[in-house]
Amino acid sequence: MYPLKFRPAPLVEVARKNRQEIVRTGVTRRELIKLGLLSTSGYLIPMRGVSAQTGCAAGACQLGCSPPTIPFVDPLPIPPVLPERPLSDPGFRIPPNAQPSGQPQDARNQPHQFRDRFPPQKFFISRMRPNPNFRFSENAANLARIPPQLIWGFNLGGAAAGDIAITPGPTIVSRYGTPIVVRRFNELAPDDTGFGVPESSTHLHNFHSGPDSDGGPCDPVFNRIVRIGQFYDYFYTMARAGFDTPEFRATNGDIRETLATLWYHGHRVDHTAENNYKGLAGFHIIFNEFDTGNENTGFRLPSFPQFDVPLFVADKLFTPEGEICFDPFGFDGLVGDKYTVNGRLQPFFEVQKRRYRFRILDGGPSRFYEFFLTNPDNPSQSIPFWQIANDGNLLPRPIEITSTRISVAERMDVIIDFKKIWDRFGHPSRLWLENRLEQVNGRAPTDRILPPGNRANVVLEFRLVGPDNVPDPSFDPEPVSFPRVPCSPNDCVFAPICLPPLPADNAANPADQIRVTRSFRFERGNGQWQINGQLMDCTRFRFTVQRNTAERWILRNNSGGWQHPIHIHLEEFRIIRRNGRLIQCGNVEFSRKDVVRLGFNEEIEIVMRFRDFRGGYPMHCHNTVHEDHQMMLLWQVQDIGDNNPEP
Amino acid sequence: MAATRRHWLAAVGVMPIIGALAARAQTPSIAGGIQPRMSGRERIRLHHLPNVELIAHTGQRVHFYDDLVKDKKVIINFMYAKCEGICVPVTANLVRVQKLLGDRVGTDIFMYSITLKPADDSAESLREYAEEHHVGPGWLFLTGSPPDIEQLRRALGFTYADPAEDADTSNHIGMLRYGVEPLTRWAACPGMANPEHIVRSILWDLG
């Protein structure tokens, strides 16, 4: 009656055959379990046979099934800076006004908040396009295994076909005090790669944006889904948080809310993981009068772009045939077995013997990292570097570290002084940026730190080149770094970009008083993500925060063997306590933050201000696979808030 | 900046976009030995949409891929008839989802509820369950041989990594999997969510 295309053998028989094939390949059962190919009960994850790749079926999208590749053969690519465009550019034929145009190509249905107060001075265009010929490596042997292939990305804004899309997309460089509009066209197309939904909403992660330009997921009022052939105008005030409060109106915001390293990424509800994984993300860097991008002015941080380098770290899976793949049926999360930095497989970067600023981003979708600097010729050395920022924010004092952990969407700016390392660690010719945090599935890292010096764990190889002494006018964090110098809660090495006063229950300034405490339990029941026992709902806001007030939120991880990077839109928060323990100066989390790692069974206390804009925002898990399975809630800011302690 | 941009373009390799899509029908054979490329649709069919034989509550014998999923827009969940836990609210929710979707169910959207207890749930008992819940046309309750159902459950990702957790059927995954098979467009949402939210999410993907 029904034509049979293929009729699979009973599972038991398939499993038996697969096991026999694997035995012939000489892989142990223990290794297979580790690779996720064999369940502990002895059944292979359903597959129809084993091919060349150590027990991987054709088309398998599984940890351990990517083809072998050669590391450190490609130079690190640096994404170009997105150029400004005149309003006479044909891309602005429909003008980027505060009010949406009402044209069918214009996806926006709400006006830009505060547009009159901050008239945009610079205009940008970027077009999301397929790039059918993207190379993860230029090396012939790597290309033979991972050939040129289709990814999605952003282009430099031109309409011509030759303005190809790249991933990560062009870096947007903006400045406080210069409001901007970014028009993003959706010129994607359906394809046969098996993942990616050609629709977008582009979030500027960490920025203090109105709901009209936040690029969030879903919203009961705002249309945020930009379909093929449409564009959306994102307006960024380039003002610091607090600009519409009595205290900071005159200064266009509180300078202590200055942000530096941000990123933009797809936020299409339910499809964020696959779309970002396919390439819809890039850096957005904000400079200001102190963090200038010039090492001869202001804080004298290493100059952009030569010595100030963004590193977009993302792990990928490829099929045994060498094509990037994503499993849209996995609930746990996706961890890859191939590291890319700025879109290249384990590249190398030639550095002079001087200081560099690296802006490291965990681009997801699910992996956590703990980064170390390893001298491959002497892996037992413990090599220090300096963390100067956490997420978008300069720390109150640089902190000397030998490793630091980062979860999805978190950023950290570090300064590596290759001259001091050259002098103190026996003239190493290369150094590895090595991730030694073990993670074998998308649920969580194991928290085990792996031994140093394993090239498979290296994301980037630094090669120290050039003369032993080069001029370096940049800021040296060593003399002022903790623990060399004791820290205090009032530290402010980068004054006037200091930590703002903490909201408190009995603060003298009413603007600093905590208005309400709310608790949020993150749980999983019957495989469904719940927050306080409730499920995601795109049709309503769960609670209302009163505009220009502060709140205390308690985040609890009741989900068992999972960890979650929790991200809150609109403004940043401060982590007060982790499991009851105060976060104190000297801790890299003693900082403003927009993502907080919620470890196994942890309880985090944060305080946060909600200023300036009115409207809806999400809180969600930034393990984007969990996010796409709706580990999220929507809340809103209005002039009158509610007092629901467990919304 | 011009130099940076030039370097970048050189690095990624400039190639005319027109014609390039056609050129990747097969993986370029740069060093030989490359296997022919498998389309995403084929890969997903092979790994996630097995063509197991199932029996519907209507008595029809069907094959999962060929008859239920291929070229279709579908909503899939797992349940069992004697479930005391979430099956009742999820089924009640899906009844409301079916009503909200109206005539589209059975014409261009198809709903499938697959039993987790095929040994207990005959087509007949699933028919009774469907009648009890006033299920409309275009929504099939499905049973089959236990190994086939298990293969289907695993392929569709309705599993827990922890074997003990996975063995507890009462704690089964209550998500709805929905998608458009020819577009390889797949998503999921909680089966117990607000039905209006479910319908909104589904229609964003199913169109």
Q: Residue B151 CB: number of other CB atoms within 10 A?
A: 21
Chain B hits for A51, CB-CB cut-off 8 Å, are 35
Helix/strand/coil (H, E, C) string of A66-133?
CCCCCCCCCECCCCCECCECCCCCHHHCCCCCCCCCCCCCECCCCCCCCCCCCCCCEEEEEEEEEEEE
Cα distances (angstroms) measured from residue B8 to each of A293, A348, A536, B11: 21, 15, 41, 5
**pLDDT tens-digit profile of A15-31?**
344 444 443 433 444 44
Taking the mean position of all CA atoms in its chain, how far away is CA A2? 47
Is residue A12 predicted with pLDDT exceeding 60? no
What architecture is the A309-480 domain classified under in CATH?
Sandwich (2.60)
- Tell which residue, A187, A358, A386, A225, has the closest CA to residue A285: A358
Whole-structure pTM over 0.95, yes or no? no
CB contact under 8 A, A537 and B194: yes
- Tell which residue, B204, B178, B176, has the closest CA to residue B192: B176
Report CA Rg, chain B. Answer: 21
Buried b vs exposed e over A509-546: b needs ≥16 C-beta within 10 Å?
A: eebbebbbebebbbbbbbbbbbbbebbbbbbebbbbbb
The dihedral through the CA atoms of A591, A596, A600, A602 has a sign that is positive
Question: What is the count of structural domains for chain B?
Answer: 1
Q: Is residue B20 part of a domain?
A: no
Chain A, nearest residue to B51 by Cα = A7
Q: How far is A134 from chain B (nearest CA, A)?
A: 6
CB contact under 8 A, B184 and A195: yes
Is residue A293 within 8 Å of residue A303, measured between CB atoms? Answer: yes
State how far the Cα of A542 lies from the Cα of A534, in Å rounded to an integer: 9
CB contact, 8 Å: B2 with chain A? no
Q: Is residue B19 part of a domain?
A: no
For chain A, domain boundaries = 1-57, 309-480, 510-638
Q: Which of A118-122, A620-624, B7-11, B93-97 has the lowest mean pLDDT?
A: B7-11
Task: Considering only the beta carbons, identify the residue of B9, B24, B157 that sits closest to A149.
Answer: B24
**pLDDT tens-digit profile of A146-202?**
999 999 999 999 999 999 999 999 999 999 999 999 999 999 999 999 999 999 999
Q: Is residue B17 part of a domain?
A: no
Residues in chain A: 647
In the prediction, which pLDDT does A54 show?
A: 60
CB contact under 8 A, A190 and B61: no
Element (H, E) at A281: strand A281-287
Helix/strand/coil (H, E, C) string of B105-163?
ECCCEEEEEEECCCCCCCHHHHHHHHHHCCCCCCEEEEEECHHHHHHHHHHCCCCCCCH
Q: Is residue B72 part of a domain?
A: yes
CATH number of the domain encompassing residue B176: 3.40.30.10
Hey, what amino acid is at A65?
Answer: C
- Cis check: omega of the bond before A179, within 30 degrees of 0: no
Q: Assign residue A592 a region: left if phi > 0, alpha if psi is -120 to 50, beta otherwise?
A: beta
- Tell which residue, A453, A372, A395, has the closest CA to residue A583: A395
CB contact under 8 A, A192 and B147: no
In the prediction, which pLDDT does A354 show?
A: 98
In the prediction, which pLDDT does A559 show?
A: 85
What does the longest C-alpha to C-alpha distance in chain B come to?
Answer: 72
Q: Is residue B6 part of a domain?
A: no
CB contact under 8 A, B13 and A325: no
Under DSSP, is residue A315 helix (H, G, I), strand (E, B) or coil?
strand
Instruction: Give the E-state strand segments of A176-280 in sequence order.
Output: 180-186, 202-205, 231-236, 261-266
CB contact, 8 Å: B37 with chain A? yes
Q: Which two structure tokens, joined as six digits, stand for A565?
A: 């990077």
Chain A, nearest residue to B194 by Cα = A537
Chain B, nearest residue to A526 by Cα = B173
In the prediction, which pLDDT does A36 show?
A: 37
Residues in chain B: 207
Confidence class for position A560, pLDDT limits 50, 70, 90: confident
Confidence class for position B6, pLDDT limits 50, 70, 90: very low
ipTM of the complex: 0.89
Chain A, nearest residue to B63 by Cα = A2
What mean pLDDT comes out for the span B186-203? 97
- Tell which residue, A234, A233, A215, has the closest CA to residue A225: A215
The dihedral through the CA atoms of A90, A93, A98, A99 has a sign that is negative
Is residue A557 within 8 Å of residue A585, measured between CB atoms? Answer: no
What mean pLDDT comes out for the span A423-451? 97
**Residue B184 CB-density burial (10 A; 0-12 exposed, 13-18 middle, 19+ buried):** buried
CB contact, 8 Å: B183 with chain A? yes
State how far the Cα of A270 lies from the Cα of B187, in Å rounded to an integer: 6
Is residue B8 predicted with pLDDT exceeding 80? no
Is residue A419 within 8 Å of residue A353, measured between CB atoms? Answer: yes
What mean pLDDT comes out for the span A438-442? 96
DSSP symbol at A513: B
Confidence class for position B16, pLDDT limits 50, 70, 90: very low
What mean pLDDT comes out for the span A373-378? 98
Mean pLDDT of chain A: 92
Which ranges of A380-516 would DSSP assign to H, the alpha helix? 418-424
Q: Say what percent of chain A tops pLDDT 70.
A: 92
State how far the Cα of A153 lies from the Cα of B135, in Å rounded to an integer: 44
**Residue A640 CB-density burial (10 A; 0-12 exposed, 13-18 middle, 19+ buried):** exposed
Q: Say what percent of chain B tops pLDDT 70.
A: 83
Structure-model confidence comparison of residues A510 and A314, the more confident one: A314
Under DSSP, is residue B95 helix (H, G, I), strand (E, B) or coil?
helix
Is residue A33 predicted with pLDDT exceeding 50? no
Chain A hits for B8, CB-CB cut-off 8 Å, are 77-80, 166
What mean pLDDT comes out for the span A379-401? 98
**pLDDT tens-digit profile of B33-73?**
455 688 999 999 999 999 999 999 999 999 999 999 999 99
Q: How far is A133 from chain B (nearest CA, A)?
A: 7
Hey, what amino acid is at A377?
Answer: D
DSSP symbol at A337: S
Give A283's Cβ-side CA count (13 Å radius): 32
Is residue A302 within 8 Å of residue A474, measured between CB atoms? Answer: yes
Give B33's Cβ-side CA count (13 Å radius): 10
* Locus of tokens 């007092």: A643
State how far the Cα of A133 lies from the Cα of A156, in Å rounded to an integer: 17
Query: At the top level of CATH, which class does the domain A510-638 belong to?
Result: mainly beta
Q: Is residue B201 part of a domain?
A: yes
Q: Is residue B3 part of a domain?
A: no
Task: Give the range of the structural domain holding residue B141, as residue numbers without chain letter.
Answer: 40-206
In the prediction, which pLDDT does A41 show?
A: 35
In the prediction, which pLDDT does B35 show?
A: 55
Q: How many CB pairs under 8 A join A and B?
A: 244
Is residue A505 predicted with pLDDT exceeding 80? yes
CB contact, 8 Å: B187 with chain A? yes
CB contact under 8 A, A46 and B155: yes
DSSP codes of every residue in A569-620? SSS-EEEEEETTEEP-TTSTTSSEESEEEE-TT-EEEEEEEE-S--EEEEEE
Q: Is residue B4 part of a domain?
A: no
**pLDDT tens-digit profile of A103-128?**
999 999 999 999 999 999 999 999 99
Question: A298 — phi, psi (to 5°)?
Answer: 55, -130
* Locus of tokens 């050039």: A466
| β-pair partners for A556 | A521, A603
